[in-house]
Amino acid sequence: MQDGTFFCYVVFIFDTKMYIMSRCSRIILTFIAMAHNGTLASKQSINLLTYYSIAQCMFIFVCVSCRYRLIVYHVSTTHVDISKMISVKQLWDVFVMSSSPTTLLSNGPQTVLSNATNYSPKVNELDEQLRKYMDAKTPAIHIYTVKPATFVLKYCVGAIHT
Amino acid sequence: MSLQGLFDADVVLSDKIQLFIKNTILDAYPISLRIDSVDFVTIIYSLGVMCYMILYHATVNRVKTENRNISVEDVITINQINTEYMLNDLFFWLLVFIVTFIVLEISCPVSIQCVSIFFSLSFTMLLYTTCSLADTQLVILRSIALFFWTIQAITVIVLTNASVLDGSCILFVNIIFGIFYYISVIEEKMTIIKFLNMRAWCSVLVNFCFILIYINNIICIDVIV
C-alpha cells in the first residue's frame, strides 16, 4: 500500500514538473515569436516597460523605507599573517625528523627543528604532539591515494626506539 | 615507513595534529563574519533600470525626430555601436553585472564580497564576448565563449545552494540571457530598434526575476522594544 502511494506521489510530481516545463517552454516560444513579429517593439509594449521600470523602483524604495532589508552574511579575512601557520614543508620536515632513528625525540623534551632552522615557534608544539603519538604507538599520519586500502603509510615506532 | 604510489596522495593526520594545523591556519587567516545588507546596491540597480528605460526612450525619440538620413529600421553598424549607442550598450552590461552580483550575494548562504564581484564580472564579460562574437565568422571562438558562459551559468545555480524559488529565478535569468544570445545569433540584419529593444526587454525581464528573488529574501527589521 505504501509502495503504491509512493508511486502515485512520484507520478504526480513528475506530471506536475512536466506540466510546468511545457508551460514555461510555451511561454518562451511565444515570447520569441512576439520578438520576431514586432509585438515587443510596439508603442504599448514600450510604454508598459517604462511604467514597469518606474513601478519596480518605487516598490524597492517603499520596501527599504518600510524597514525591509536584504540581510546577508559576509565573510572576510583581515590582517593575514602567514608566519603564524606551519607550511606543509615544515610539517613534513618535523614528521620526517620525528620518525627518523637518529632523532632525539625519545630521549627527552628537546625540540627537533624549531631552534635549528628558523622555523616557527609553533613547531615546538607539533613536536610535542608527535612525541605523544610515538609514545602511544599509534600512527600519526596516513597517506591514501585513489585506492585507500592499497597505500597506507606505516609508522614504524619500533625502529625509533632501537 | 613504506610508501607505494604517492600519486594524488591524500594525507590524513591524526585528530590532534589535524586540529593543531587547523588552528595555525586560522591564526594566520583570521576570518571575520559580519551581517550586512545589500540594500544600497539594490537601490542603485533599481534606479539604474529606470534610468536605462529613460535613456532608451530618449535614444529612440532622438533617432526618430532628428533630420538625418538614419531611421530606426536601418541596420546598426559596429561603428554606430562604438559611438552613438555605446552609452546604451555599456549601461545594459553594467546592469547585467550589478544584477548578477546582487543575485549571487542573496543566493549564497555565506558570501565573500570580492569573490562575488569577480564572479559576476567574469559572468558578464563572458556573456558580452559571446554576444559580441555572434555576428562574426569566428565559429570556434564563439563556441568556446558560449561553452564557458554555459559552464559559469550552471555553476552559479549549483554553487549558490539557492532555494527552489531563488534557483528557479536564477534559471530563468539564465534562460533570458540564452534567448538574448539566440536572437543576437539569428538576427542577420540587426536594426537599430531591435538592438535597443532587445536590451530593454532583457533588462526588464531580468529585473522581474530579480524582484521575485528580492521579495523571497527581504526581512522586516522593525523590532518593537
Interstrand relation of A71-77 and B31-37 (parallel, antiparallel or unpaired): antiparallel
pLDDT for the residue B7: 62
Task: Clarify whether residues A44 and A90 are in a common domain.
Answer: no
pLDDT for the residue A155: 47
B105·A68 Cβ contact <8 A: no
Pick among A70, A75, A96, A132 to test the B interface (most B CBs inside 10 A): A70
Task: Clarify whether residues A97 and A157 are in a common domain.
Answer: yes
Q: Which domain holds residue B207?
A: 39-217
Task: Clarify whether residues A19 and A57 are in a common domain.
Answer: yes
Helix H or strand E encompassing A71: strand A71-77
Specify if A73 maps to a domain.
no
pLDDT for the residue B63: 82
Specify if B206 maps to a domain.
yes
CB-based contact, A33 to chain B, within 8 Å: no
Residue of B nearest to A39 (CA): B197
Task: Clarify whether residues A89 and A143 are in a common domain.
Answer: yes
Angstrom distance (rounded) from CA A67 to CA B223:
10
First to last CA, chain A: 69
Task: Clarify whether residues A98 and A148 are in a common domain.
Answer: yes
Task: Clarify whether residues A92 and A31 are in a common domain.
Answer: no
Domains of chain A: total: 2
Q: Which domain holds residue A150?
A: 82-161
Specify if A71 maps to a domain.
no
Domains of chain B: total: 1
Using CB atoms, which residue from A35, A59, A154 is nearest to B1?
A: A154
Specify if B67 maps to a domain.
yes
- pLDDT tens digits along B66-88: 766 777 777 888 888 888 889 99
pLDDT for the residue A48: 87
* Residue A9 Cα, gap to closest chain B Cα (Å): 19
Task: Clarify whether residues A41 and A103 are in a common domain.
Answer: no
B14·A139 Cβ contact <8 A: yes
Angstrom distance (rounded) from CA B215 to CA B217:
6
Residues of chain A contacting residue B109, judged by C-beta atoms under 8 Å apart:
73
For residue B196, which of B65, B88, B98, B99 has the smallest C-alpha distance? B88
Cα→Cα distances B151→A103, B95, B127, Å:
52, 21, 11
For residue A152, which of B1, B8, B14, B19 has the smallest C-alpha distance? B1
Using CB atoms, which residue from B46, B109, B221 is nearest to A56?
A: B46
Residue A85 burial (10 A CB sphere; 0-12, 13-18, 19+)? buried
Angstrom distance (rounded) from CA A100 to CA B94:
60
Task: Clarify whether residues A51 and A23 are in a common domain.
Answer: yes
A60·B43 Cβ contact <8 A: yes
* Residue B61 Cα, gap to closest chain A Cα (Å): 12
- pLDDT tens digits along B84-106: 889 999 999 999 999 999 999 99
CB-based contact, A70 to chain B, within 8 Å: yes
Cα→Cα distances A161→A94, A100, A152, B208, Å:
17, 10, 22, 72
CB-based contact, A149 to chain B, within 8 Å: no
Residues of chain A contacting residue B175, judged by C-beta atoms under 8 Å apart:
28
Specify if A108 maps to a domain.
yes
Specify if A74 maps to a domain.
no
B106·A91 Cβ contact <8 A: no
Specify if B2 maps to a domain.
no
CB-based contact, A154 to chain B, within 8 Å: yes
A140·B14 Cβ contact <8 A: yes
- pLDDT tens digits along B28-39: 888 888 888 899
Average pLDDT, chain B: 85
The pLDDT of B200-210, averaged and rounded, is: 93
Beta-carbon contacts of residue B186 (< 8 Å; ≥ 6 apart): none
Specify if A37 maps to a domain.
yes
Pick among A23, A46, A66, A72 to test the B interface (most B CBs inside 10 A): A72
Specify if B30 maps to a domain.
no
In this prediction the ipTM stands at 0.82
pLDDT tens-place values along chain A, 162 residues long:
556 776 676 777 667 767 777 777 777 777 777 766 777 777 888 888 889 999 999 999 999 988 888 888 988 877 888 877 877 877 777 777 766 655 544 454 454 444 555 556 667 777 777 777 666 666 666 666 555 444 444 444 444 432
pLDDT for the residue A134: 67
Residue A40, helix vs strand vs coil: helix
Task: Clarify whether residues A39 and A99 are in a common domain.
Answer: no
Specify if A54 maps to a domain.
yes
Pick among B39, B160, B185 to test the A interface (most A CBs inside 10 A): B39
Task: Clarify whether residues A89 and A55 are in a common domain.
Answer: no
Specify if A152 maps to a domain.
yes
Task: Clarify whether residues A6 and A59 are in a common domain.
Answer: yes
pLDDT for the residue A30: 77
Task: Clarify whether residues A124 and A60 are in a common domain.
Answer: no
- pLDDT tens digits along B113-167: 899 999 999 999 988 988 887 666 777 888 888 888 899 888 888 878 788 888 8
* Residue B139 Cα, gap to closest chain A Cα (Å): 24
Using CB atoms, which residue from B9, B16, B56 is nearest to A129?
A: B16
